[in-house]
Amino acid sequence: MIPKRKEKKALMFLYEVFLFVAAFIFLIPVILTFINSFKSNTEIQMNIASLPSFTMSIPKKMEQRHFEGSILNRLSENDRLFFSSFYDFKEGRYVRRYSENSKKIKSMEKNIGFSLPKELSRQNFNTQIVQNIRSDILKSKIRSELYKSFDGVYTLKKEKISPENKTKLINLLKSTGSFNTVGKNFLKNYGSSWKLTKFPTVFFNTLIITILSVVGIILISSMAAYALVRTETKLSWIVFLFFTFAMVVPFQVIMFPLVKVAKMMGCAGTIPGIVLIYMAVGCPMAIFMYHGFIKGIPIELEESASLDGAGRFKTFFSIVLPLLTPITSTIAILDVLWIWNDFLLPLIILTKKVVTIQLAQYYTRGAYSRDFGMELASLVLAVFPVIIFYMFMQRYIIKGVIAGAVKG
């Protein structure tokens, strides 16, 4: 008995470790999104895994593209010369991708007639290698397949930094807007996101759509499932199978016909129209879950209510519906998470006059420029309400699923 208990405990420990690691991996993108929403666009592009700065500091090392594009190009000529004088520049280089014994290297060396070095500066790469090859195909292969290009690097000369120079360099960094403290990035990113997405408006639109859709799904599905369970005929079983089949049909299959039908019915581009579609798409799963739960409710409760003079509707709303609270909570939580975070259905049904939170994120993206800090801040604003809702309601999910499994 003792070895078996130890084995069981060991397996449970390994299972818990696996769940913890899986949860941590899943949460990494969420954590990075939140952290990077407090950073500037340049800081995000430089290192997505770095923490935001609480104080302004001079970067010790920067790649050429970030240093020249985000700092030097935004300064005047005198300031540019002053700033770059505090950095040593190491030119970018080309490094061979493969080992000495690589067949690809030997094959190319045979074709071009000379040996290929392991590492070359950019200038030497073009003069010593590329200019000596006549074939354009070989040139492109060597550039793309054989050598890996590295950007140049600017390294700070620490010995030249005096307190006066440090203050001036920090002021120049502030003037470029490339590096800021957490507080300023918060005001810039979240303020821009709030204004650009018209957050109060899109939040209200999404809230109305979510509430109306979820309430409609719960009412219609619970009543339909109750009728199907208590009406024991072949027709009710066929109808239930029809709803069950609808669960396995991918949304992408019905997407284009759905848009056409929505336009014919005048549902496209309106809140009532998309609410109706959400109810139609969400009801099959809810009916399936309610159906299994209602089977476990004793019919004697309804019979005693009918003896007291209660009709079918009063029996359902007074006795049956309150007993469905666990599974109703589960359905409500799952549907709120689905509808609030849905992007595809609003994209194909709604217009720019009626925008949800998820569509607002999409419309803020520029075609030729990206402000990652603002975009990530808007994602945090979009997901924050539903995370709070989930934290308060998550215990009902397990309770509802277990209750439904036992009763069904």
Residues 6+ apart with CB under 8 A from 212: 271, 275
- Higher per-residue confidence, 382 vs 100: 382
* 121-138: average pLDDT: 79
Supply the mean pLDDT for the chain: 84
| Tens digit of each residue's pLDDT (9 = 90 or more) over 104-123 | 788 777 777 777 888 888 77
> Is 190 in contact with 384 (CB distance < 8 Å)?
no
Tens digit of each residue's pLDDT (9 = 90 or more) over 196-239: 888 999 999 999 999 999 999 999 999 999 888 888 888 888 88
**Better-predicted residue by pLDDT, 158 or 74:** 74
Confidence of residue 130 (pLDDT cuts 50, 70, 90): confident
Gyration radius from the chain CA atoms: 31
Please give the pLDDT value at position 397: 62
pLDDT at 278: 93
Give the pLDDT confidence score for residue 367 in this predicted structure.
62
State which amino acid sits at residue 351: T
| Mean pLDDT within 170-186 | 88
What band does 398 get if pLDDT is binned at 50, 70 and 90? low
Q: How far apart are CA 335 and CA 340, in angstroms?
A: 8
| Tokens 């793309």, residue located | 144
pLDDT for residue 393 is more than 50: yes
3 or 337, higher pLDDT: 337
Give the per-residue pLDDT at 286.
Answer: 92
Give the mean pLDDT of 160-165.
84
pLDDT of residue 174: 87
pLDDT computed for residue 106 by the predictor: 81
pLDDT score recorded for residue 206 = 93
Q: What is the pLDDT of residue 405?
A: 46
Name residue 76's amino acid.
Answer: S
Do residues 291 and 403 lie in contact, with contact meaning Cβ atoms separated by under 8 Å?
Answer: no
Query: According to the per-residue pLDDT averaged within each range, which of 212-226, 302-316, 349-363 is highest?
Result: 212-226
Q: How large is the average pLDDT for residues 22-35?
A: 88
pLDDT the model gives residue 1: 47
Whole-prediction pTM: 0.76
In Å, how far are 63, 123, 233 from 91, measured between CA atoms? 10, 9, 81
Residue 221 identity: S
pLDDT at residue 101 is higher than 80: no
Percent of the chain with pLDDT over 70: 94
Band of residue 408 on the pLDDT scale cut at 50, 70, 90: very low
pLDDT score of 402: 54
Strand, helix or coil for residue 343: coil
* Per-residue confidence (pLDDT) for residue 217, from 0 to 100: 95
Identity at 55, one-letter amino acid code: T
Q: Which runs of consecutive H residues, i.e. helices, occur in 85-198? A: 103-112, 122-124, 136-141, 163-176, 182-196
Q: What's the pLDDT score for residue 113?
A: 77
Taking CB atoms within 8 Å and a gap of at least 24, the contacts of 181-185 are: 181/53, 181/54, 181/55, 181/56, 182/38, 182/52, 182/53, 182/54, 185/38, 185/39, 185/40, 185/52, 185/373
- 115-141: average pLDDT: 80
